[in-house]
């Protein structure tokens, strides 16, 4: 295998290939940083460009957009609390409070370190254990998915902040919103009130933009003309360098995040957004200072960024080895492979082994290019904090509205942004956390459809789930996770009382 990866590097290291990798990665970072534009959209938009291209530059460019987009989402999440992509929503939980403390530069640097470690780790996994892991993922049926998504939902308890009840209320509201649209099993309209735009459900991106970005603008608008309150962004202050000691202190969290990202990324249909939240929750659970999470804890940024980039290579594993696209972006990539005459599946490694290993080598290079752009770009990205807040908020608002419109060219999405913006603002006023709402909204359809399939499979007797060792493994993890969350919460309350 080692000589194959060396040959892969020899194949990919040409000027033309490198230029396309650089172009794709840079474009991905820009796309990811624009609210409303996701890595998926970027890959889909650039797909037609690959028709006349050779295989290696074409696939490498698209993978560059994918990885770059995943990192790019964290830039605006940290600087202006506007996650460019759903996967970056967990990053904003601690990234933005860090920016408020004047540590935006440090948070951005730590985000690129974590993204690169996550990306390289998942590349390594892609090369070493792709086929074996993909075989395991293939054993996932509805009960296993149900148990896994339930584990994802326990994250709600972990990111509820001060009040678990309010976190659970936010989660219930998120699940309720996810019910809007066609029933996942029978295709009947639910809670659509006869509105044709609601029949396909609420799109994630407008909900996300409204809940985080518009709510932020509305909250800041409170300060207009109020004596003693100035409408300013959070200026960067103090040393923004990340020392080796700091990097080392977060390295374990990076590896854990990368592992979680890789593992969840392999399973079709779950995606990087969920992996970021699960990793964030795990970092909080295992931290000596869980009370600092949500208030500007660097480990929160590290955990979510290493996990969402850790999922990038992992999502390619079921695609390349089994021909199963795990999410929308890999489904678009499946199209790109087919255009190039490569049919993903078990025979791909036998028939096009050298090309696949060159793509793997390209994947490693993409992460290195992303690291270089990310690190050198920090000082330019951070300039956003020096812009006048009055102008920036005006421009961000319009960008958010247009970005939401562009998701599926529908004005209805702009309305969704406004409604969820107001809801997000009210959430903040009532101290209801937005994170649990989002995670429940993302996982709701998966949870419901797999629960209902499991009920049919076991003829109504859900206790039969104990027959599945994988499902049991996840259910035990759920119990352990809940135990630690409740213990941490009670410890925090004790500390507060004292």
Partner 1 sequence: MMKKGFKDIYTGLVLFAASLLMFFYVIPHHIKAYTVYGLPPSFFPKVITVALGVFSFILIISGLRQGGKEAFSLEAIKEHFRSIDGRPARNVLMIFGIAILYYIGLATIGFIISTPIIIFLLGIAFRWKRYVILILISGLTTTVLYLIFGVVLGSPLP
Place of tokens 């020096």: 386
Q: Which of 448, 465, 474, 475 binds partner 1 (CB under 8 A)?
A: 448
Q: Which of 404, 89, 56 is nearest to 278 (CA)?
A: 89
383 binds partner 1, rule: CB under 8 A = no
Torsion of CA 451, 453, 455, 456, to 10 degrees: 170
Torsion of CA 223, 225, 228, 231, to 10 degrees: 50
Six token digits for residue 211: 């809940």
451 binds partner 1, rule: CB under 8 A = yes
> What is the closest distance, in whole angstroms, from the C-beta atom of residue 386 to partner 1 in the complex?
15
Residue number, 107 or 198, with CB nearest to partner 1: 198
The window from 3-11, 425-433, 466-474, 481-489 that contacts partner 1 (CB under 8 A) reads 425-433
For the segment 4-63, give every residue that binds partner 1 (CB under 8 A): 34, 37, 41, 45
**What CA–CA distances, in Å, run from 397 to 40, 119, 131, 295, 431?**
22, 32, 45, 25, 23
Q: Which of 67, 148, 301, 414 binds partner 1 (CB under 8 A)?
A: 414
Place of tokens 């509805």: 142
Residue number, 135 or 493, with CB nearest to partner 1: 493
Q: Which of 225, 228, 341, 469 binds partner 1 (CB under 8 A)?
A: 225
Residue number, 409 or 498, with CB nearest to partner 1: 409
> What is the closest distance, in whole angstroms, from the C-beta atom of residue 283 to partner 1 in the complex?
26
Residue number, 290 or 424, with CB nearest to partner 1: 424
DSSP for 338-380, written as a single string: HHTT---STTHHHHSHHHHHHHHHHHHHHHHHHHHHHHHHHHH
Q: Which of 29, 87, 378, 389 binds partner 1 (CB under 8 A)?
A: 389
Six token digits for residue 428: 């903040």
Q: Which of 331, 339, 375, 422 binds partner 1 (CB under 8 A)?
A: 422
216 binds partner 1, rule: CB under 8 A = no
Question: Using alpha carbons only, what angle is made at residue 433 by residues 432 and 434, rounded to the nearest 5 degrees?
Answer: 120
Q: Crossing angle, helix 15-33 and helix 353-381, to 10 degrees?
A: 50
Helix%, strand%, coil% for the chain, nearest 5: 75, 0, 20
Residues in the chain: 498
Query: How far from chain centre, in Å, is Cα 272?
Result: 4
Helices (H), 101-243: 104-137, 142-153, 155-158, 164-178, 204-209, 215-221
Six token digits for residue 79: 């600087």
Q: Which of 128, 191, 252, 383 binds partner 1 (CB under 8 A)?
A: 191
Q: Which of 432, 438, 465, 471 binds partner 1 (CB under 8 A)?
A: 432
Residue number, 368 or 418, with CB nearest to partner 1: 418
> What is the closest distance, in whole angstroms, from the C-beta atom of residue 61 to partner 1 in the complex?
16
> What is the closest distance, in whole angstroms, from the C-beta atom of residue 408 to partner 1 in the complex?
10
Q: CA–CA separation, 351 vs 376, rounded Å?
A: 40
Q: CA–CA separation, 458 vs 481, rounded Å?
A: 26
Q: Which of 347, 402, 476, 492 binds partner 1 (CB under 8 A)?
A: 402
The window from 288-296, 340-348, 372-380, 396-404 that contacts partner 1 (CB under 8 A) reads 396-404
The window from 64-72, 213-221, 313-321, 374-382 that contacts partner 1 (CB under 8 A) reads 213-221
Binding mask 154-183 for partner 1 (x = CB under 8 A): ---------x-xx-xx--xx-xx--x---x
The residues of the shown chain that bind partner 1, judged by CB under 8 A, are 34, 37, 41, 45, 163, 165-166, 168-169, 172-173, 175-176, 179, 183, 185-186, 188, 190-193, 214, 217-219, 221-226, 231, 388-391, 393-395, 397-399, 401-403, 405-406, 409, 411, 414-415, 418, 421-422, 425, 430-432, 448, 451-452, 455-456
């Amino acid at each position: 295998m080692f000589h194959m990866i060396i040959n892969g590097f020899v194949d990919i290291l040409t000027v033309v290939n490198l230029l396309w990798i650089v172009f794709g990665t840079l474009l991905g970072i820009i796309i990811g940083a624009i609210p409303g534009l996701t890595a998926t959209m970027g890959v889909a938009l650039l797909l037609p460009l690959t028709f006349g291209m050779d295989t290696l530059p074409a696939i490498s460019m698209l993978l560059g957009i994918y990885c770059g987009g995943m990192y790019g989402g964290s830039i605006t999440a940290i600087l202006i609390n506007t996650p460019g992509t759903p996967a970056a929503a967990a990053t904003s939980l601690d990234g933005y409070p860090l920016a408020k403390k004047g540590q935006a530069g440090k948070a951005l640097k730590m985000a690129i370190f974590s993204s690169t470690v996550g990306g390289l780790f998942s590349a390594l996994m892609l090369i070493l254990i792709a086929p074996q892991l993909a075989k395991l993922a293939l054993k996932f049926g509805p009960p296993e998915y149900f148990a896994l998504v339930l584990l994802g939902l326990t994250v709600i308890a972990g990111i509820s902040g001060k009040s678990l009840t309010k976190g659970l209320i936010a989660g219930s509201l998120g699940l309720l919103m996810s019910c809007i649209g066609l029933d996942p099993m029978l295709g009947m309209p639910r809670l659509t009130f006869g509105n044709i735009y609601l029949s396909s459900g609420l799109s994630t991106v407008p909900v996300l933009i409204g809940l985080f970005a518009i709510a932020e603008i509305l909250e800041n608008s409170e300060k207009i003309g109020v004596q003693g309150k100035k409408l300013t962004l959070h200026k960067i202050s103090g040393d923004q360098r990340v020392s080796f000691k700091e990097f080392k202190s977060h390295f374990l969290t990076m590896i854990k995040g990368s592992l979680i990202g890789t593992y969840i990324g392999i399973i079709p249909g779950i995606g990087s957004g969920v992996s970021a939240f699960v990793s964030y929750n795990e970092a909080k659970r295992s931290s000596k200072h869980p009370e600092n999470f949500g208030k500007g804890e660097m480990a929160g940024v590290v955990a979510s960024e290493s996990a969402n980039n850790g999922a990038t290579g992992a999502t390619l594993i079921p695609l390349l080895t089994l021909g199963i696209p795990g999410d929308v972006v890999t489904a678009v990539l499946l199209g790109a492979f087919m255009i190039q005459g490569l049919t993903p599946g078990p025979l791909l490694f036998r028939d096009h082994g050298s090309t696949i290993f060159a793509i793997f080598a390209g994947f490693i290079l993409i992460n290195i290019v992303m690291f270089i752009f990310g690190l050198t770009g920090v000082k330019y990205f951070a300039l956003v904090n020096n812009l006048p807040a009055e102008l920036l908020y005006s421009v961000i608002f319009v960008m958010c509205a247009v970005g939401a419109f562009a998701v599926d060219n529908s004005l209805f999405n702009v309305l969704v942004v406004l409604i969820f913006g107001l809801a997000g603002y009210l959430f903040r006023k009532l101290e209801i956390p937005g994170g649990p709402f989002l995670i429940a909204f993302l996982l709701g359809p998966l949870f419901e459809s797999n629960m209902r399939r499991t009920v049919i499979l076991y003829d109504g007797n859900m206790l039969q789930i104990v027959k599945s060792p994988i499902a049991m493994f996840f259910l035990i993890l759920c119990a352990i996770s809940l135990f630690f969350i409740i213990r941490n919460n009670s410890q925090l309350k004790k500390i507060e009382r004292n």
